[in-house]
Structure 1
């Protein structure tokens, strides 16, 4: 460990827990900004509340943001089929969105199972 690392460690050790978290978050921010690291997708869904009125396209965007760890390419066929049921088939948006939410949950459960 060089002099800088020792000094940094000494300063961080003196901080309260929330201060340590802030130092780590800032260091990770700088690391990403330098292009050295891609931000990691969270391992758990990021809940985004469902609005009362929502289009199927907006629901897909919301769910993709809620489940950034999922490979949307693997879900493209199922997602497109559901969207077509709404656009072409006239199926109510609320029903299609319910099915989309179930689809994303199912894929997340498979993702989680593959990581254990």
Structure 2
């Protein structure tokens, strides 16, 4: 649909999330999360917030609630502490990968 394609990335994500919500609410099965991370490349210039969204989309199988404290701490280091985006994003990548490895280990 042209209307959805014309939305910025964040708007498109919200439309998809709402569609999934309606699908489940109206009796449809929730789509299964992939078992491997989705290959969403890291842009050269990226904010910490965008990185968190990208990583959450890359690792949809992870429970973001379990990572909230660590993610918030890293974001605060950037916003309040002035730590450079690239450093914080590197740590976020490690955080998500570590949680994914724990997720995989729990499945075996």
Q: Count how many residue pairs are aligned between Structure 1 and Structure 2.
A: 85
Q: How far does the alpha carbon of each residue in 1:2-54 deviate from its partner, in whole angstroms, 9 at most, with x for none?
A: xxxxxxxxxxxxxxxxxxxxxxxxxxxxxx68733110000110010000000
CA distance in 1, matches of 2:106, 2:59: 15
Task: Give the TM-score taking structure 2 as reference length.
Answer: 0.75
Point out where structure 2 has 5 or more consecutive residues left out of the alignment: 1-22
Question: Which residue does the alignment assign to 2:99?
Answer: 107
Query: Do residues 90 (structure 1) and 101 (structure 2) align?
Result: no
Structure 1 outlier segments of 4+, above 2 Å? 32-36
Greater CA radius of gyration, 1 or 2? 1
Q: Once superposed, what is the RMSD of the aligned Cα atoms?
A: 1.3
Point out where structure 1 has 5 or more consecutive residues left out of the alignment: 1-31
CA distance in 2, matches of 1:73, 1:36: 24
Question: Which residue does the alignment assign to 2:43?
Answer: 51
